[in-house]
Structure 1
Amino acid sequence: MSDFLKKLKGIFIVESPTDGQATEADATAKSETSGSKPAPAPTPTPTVSVPAGKASEKFYDILLGAMETNNQEGFDYLEYKKSLQTLAKMPMDEQTRYLSAFAAAQAMGVTPQKLSESAGFYLKVLQSEDTKFQESVNTQRQKQIGNKEKAIADMEATIKAKGEQIARLTEEIQAHQNDMEQMKAEISDAVVKIETTLSDFHATYEELTGQIGKDMENISKYLK
């Protein structure tokens, strides 16, 4: 970490934000820039409970690093902010603190307009970082969530299609079973008819051949 970035952290951060506590100086900065549009919060998955956001030292490093990279020459908003931070330790009201910090800046030819323009410049730097971060998050969201949601939708469609196929096959199986039972009944009826016919034929055959056999015996017995 560069010395300048350490100084920036000293200006904007008093306590470590890892505990989720924003500093008094940071709160002042937020009130100064209340007109700026806050970064939109990511839309959580409906079934997931997303915890409230809190200030993170990791992201302070990223954002302040962008400000460091784009630091303007000469006395600008950052130097003015440092003066405000130093005066915050002294017993004076807010207006007096801002006027006192500006007195030193004024000696260097700085005007309120230049200070405001400088602060606006850093806001644009941070807004650019916000845009880049949002794009990165959207890419990760698409990669880790969007693609899986599409896969889930495809699986649901496949499950529905296979369910319909199973229902259709179940109906076909039931129809085949009904046909099979009907065929079994028809076979049973056919067997009964065939066997009855065969039995009747055999009974007739036995009766007829019996009569012929009896006549043959009588012929042999009586016609000598």
Structure 2
Amino acid sequence: MAEQETSSGLEGFGKKLLNLFIKDEPTGSKPMPVMPQSQGSPVGTPAAQPNHVPTAPVSAIPGPVAAPEGTVDTKFVDHFASVLSKANQPGPDYFEFREALKSLSNLNLSEDQQYQAAWASFKAMGGSANVAALVSSANQYLTALNNDQQAFSKTVEETLTEKVGGLSNEQKQLQSENEQFARQILEIQRKMDANNERLAKIGGELNEQQQKITQSKSNYEATLAVFVGQIKRDLLKLGEYIK
């Protein structure tokens, strides 16, 4: 790959990277990487890679929820383009070999014929005739990707701890508030029940008191009438009998 690939050209580099590692598929089918990302140490010898293998599922995130199966994401393609661009050395290397191999994928050649033809094309570009140099350049990219994966995994774990921890604390706080509200509701309900019970008693007491007061008023007026009647009768008799 030419050394003039810079950060300003990463978008185009990402598209090139996508074309190099993703086999063209009929419309409507999901793209699959040709070569999965290495999870371990760089390999020591070149190995023939199939032109099309399924994408490995994304590892489950520790916790109650497992991650779904991953798909190729162009934003990560651009990210890996940046990672590989920084690891790239001047002159033909593994990427030129992969580009040559990609160009042969649609020809009616067996896999070993494709690799032999790509190797011949790579050497014709000025690449090293020593296969160990090609393997070394490929291992540089694997090392860069592996280091990036470790940093990404660490960031994911830290982010999960921060986000999930924060949400867990919020969950506990809300649950505690709801329990407190529930206790308050029970206390309010208890007071309402007591008030309703007292209201029912007050209704009976009101009737009783009204009857007592009304009866007392009637008795007062009846008794008063007796006294008033008696005095009036005496006044009448005084006028009649005493002159």
**TM-score, scaled to structure 1:** 0.62
Residues matched between the structures, number = 213
Aligned equivalents of 1:117, 1:108: Cα separation in 2: 13
Q: How big is the shift at 1:57?
A: 3.8
* Cα gap change, 1:184 to 1:2, in 2 (>3 Å): closer
Counterparts of 1:51-62 in structure 2 under 5 Å?
53-62=70-79
| Match status 1:97 vs 2:114 | yes
1:126 is aligned to 2:145: yes
CA contact (8 A) 1:66 1:126 kept: yes
CA distance in 1, matches of 2:11, 2:207: 101
Change (3 A) 1:66 1:198: same
Shift of the alpha carbon at 1:186? 1.6
Where structure 2 has 5 or more consecutive residues not aligned to the other structure, the ranges are: 1-8, 37-47
- Show the 5 A alignment for 1:9-158: 11-13=20-22, 15=24, 21-22=30-31, 26-27=33-34, 29-30=35-36, 32=49, 39-40=58-59, 53-72=70-89, 76-88=93-105, 90-102=107-119, 108-111=129-132, 115-116=134-135, 118-133=137-152, 135=155, 139=159, 154=173, 158=177
Structure 1 pair 4–69 and aligned structure 2 pair: CA distance change class (3 A): farther
Q: Percent identity?
A: 24
SS at match of 1:182: helix
SS at match of 1:175: helix
For 1:187 and 1:3, locate their aligned partners in 2 and report how far apart those are by CA, in whole Å: 88
Higher helix share: 1
Q: Distance in 1 between matches of 2:69 and 2:29?
A: 10
Partner of 2:216: 197
Give unmatched runs, 5+ long, in structure 1.
Answer: none
- Paired position in structure 2 for 1:187: 206
Shift of 1:93: 1.6
Q: Determine the C-alpha separation between the residues in 2 that align with 1:203 and 1:122.
A: 117
Between 170-179 and 73-82, the greater mean CA deviation after superposition: 73-82
- The structure whose RCO (Cα within 8 Å, separation 6+) is larger is 2
* Correspondence for 1:176: 195
Amino acid across the alignment from 2:130? G
